[in-house]
Structure 1
Amino acid sequence: METFTGIPTAASGFYAELEDNNNRDWWLAHKDTYDDAVRRPLEALLDGLAPVFGPAKLFRPYRDVRFSPDKSPYKTAQGAFVSNHEGVGFYLQVSADGLLVGGGFHSSSPAQLARFRTAVDAPASGGALARIVETLSGSGFSVDGQELKNVPRGFPRDHPRGELLKHKTLSASMHLGQPEWMDTAHAKDEVARHWEQLRPLVDWTIRYAAP
């Protein structure tokens, strides 16, 4: 295991150039930069955070272009998902814009969605989620996810938590940009601090609406 010393600023520079040169020849010519500035630092960071937050999946850098009109072969950001429960956990992304952290659940089966709506409807669990979301919003996180246009059938249109009931997935994220600690070992503590802010949302989902 490599010792984590920070995420090099070259990581953002790599993706800024990739946005203008998204082709195989450029990628192969700069693969060493991807390995040195993106892949290995993130692997070291995620290994260090795993005992507290769970195992990580570092997403492949290659796009699935089979059904997309955009045939650019490479993703213009490196993402990672950290979780002990399928589809529920913490997110980290590096791109030309710098760092982004997030957490929540990004997919739902019909059964999971039914559990989620039941929990949102219930005053105790639903009220707890509303307070979590309010706290995150007040702390600078953007709360989003896949949503219906209207409150789902079976619930009153004026439900006190109608906006939450519209959600099919629910997550919160924050763009951190390129803070001065990004290329230092302190980045591990900062990512952990933001993920701890997101833990109530993750824990609520695991308790009431796990897959």
Structure 2
Amino acid sequence: MQFNGFPTAALDFYDDLEMDNSKAFWEANKHVYLDAVRRPFEALAAALEPQFGAAKIFRPYRDVRFRADKTPYKTHQGMFVAVAPRTGWYFELSPRGTRVGAGFYEATGPRLAAVRAAIDDEKSGKALTRLVKRYEKEGWEIGGDRVKTAPRGYTVDHPRIELLRHKQLFVGRPYGFEADALGPDLVERVRTDWETLRPLLTWLTTRPKAD
């Protein structure tokens, strides 16, 4: 299966879905989703698998059980290659084009405590600081939900308080609508950027030590 890029129909599909997020629209246009979105995603995942591992292509349906917003369909398509629980590489297509990222997307309890302990540690914490600063200098965006003050057990004057505030930590950047953001060259762009983000995932999977 060869990746030949995402057709314009993929972006049009999500533009229209944002305007009409209904079962009637979905059923009438499901063939567009399959041809213009799902199959190119499968081809992209297959091209990247030898270097990074198998990707999970997310379902297009939203879980609305505990949400005020009951719209049934996601207005983007994502895929994720896990290297640890909720930790790995990410790729997304939406009406705003494509984007890539990698990081630690959710943590609760012992896992989050272990990450924060590794950030608190002088050696491993400074290593992560250097890594994040390098990504910022190269134009990457640093994201993830954060607490507003200091997490329990840490003070607001901690030298790495900004990192300690993260409940998630991921690094990414948008590609938008550039030629190599949607066309066949996208494979190489994702491959290069995911490899650039590998040191972050190495830190996240080797430095935090759960009790």
- Gaps spanning 5+ residues in structure 1: where? none
**Identical aligned pairs, as a percentage?**
44
Judged with a 3 Å threshold, the aligned counterparts in structure 2 of structure 1 residues 147 and 156 are, in CA distance, closer, same or farther, namely same
Report the secondary structure of 2:2's partner residue: coil
Bigger drift between 180-189 and 18-27 goes to 180-189
- Matched with 2:84 is 85
Q: CA RMSD in A?
A: 1.5
- Matched with 1:168 is 167
What TM-score, normalized to structure 2?
A: 0.94
What TM-score, normalized to structure 1?
A: 0.94
Judged with a 3 Å threshold, the aligned counterparts in structure 2 of structure 1 residues 84 and 156 are, in CA distance, closer, same or farther, namely closer
Judged with a 3 Å threshold, the aligned counterparts in structure 2 of structure 1 residues 151 and 62 are, in CA distance, closer, same or farther, namely same
User: 2:178, 2:45 → 1: CA distance?
Assistant: 19
Q: How many residues matched? A: 210
Q: Which AA in structure 2 matches 1:66?
A: R
User: 1:21, 1:123 → 2: CA distance?
Assistant: 51
- Gaps spanning 5+ residues in structure 2: where? none
Judged with a 3 Å threshold, the aligned counterparts in structure 2 of structure 1 residues 182 and 142 are, in CA distance, closer, same or farther, namely closer
1:3-26: per-residue Cα shift (whole Å, max 9, x none)?
111122221111011111111111
The equivalences for 1:45-60 within 5 A come to: 45-60=44-59
Whether the 8 Å CA contact 1:85–1:210 is kept in 2: the answer is no
- Matched with 2:136 is 137
1:86-142: per-residue Cα shift (whole Å, max 9, x none)?
211011110101101111011113111121111111121101100111111122221
User: 1:67, 1:10 → 2: CA distance?
Assistant: 32
Report the secondary structure of 1:14's partner residue: helix
Report the secondary structure of 1:181's partner residue: helix
Judged with a 3 Å threshold, the aligned counterparts in structure 2 of structure 1 residues 210 and 173 are, in CA distance, closer, same or farther, namely farther
User: 1:183, 1:102 → 2: CA distance?
Assistant: 16
- Matched with 1:70 is 69
User: 2:63, 2:129 → 1: CA distance?
Assistant: 36
Whether the 8 Å CA contact 1:23–1:73 is kept in 2: the answer is yes
1:106 is the counterpart of 2:105: yes
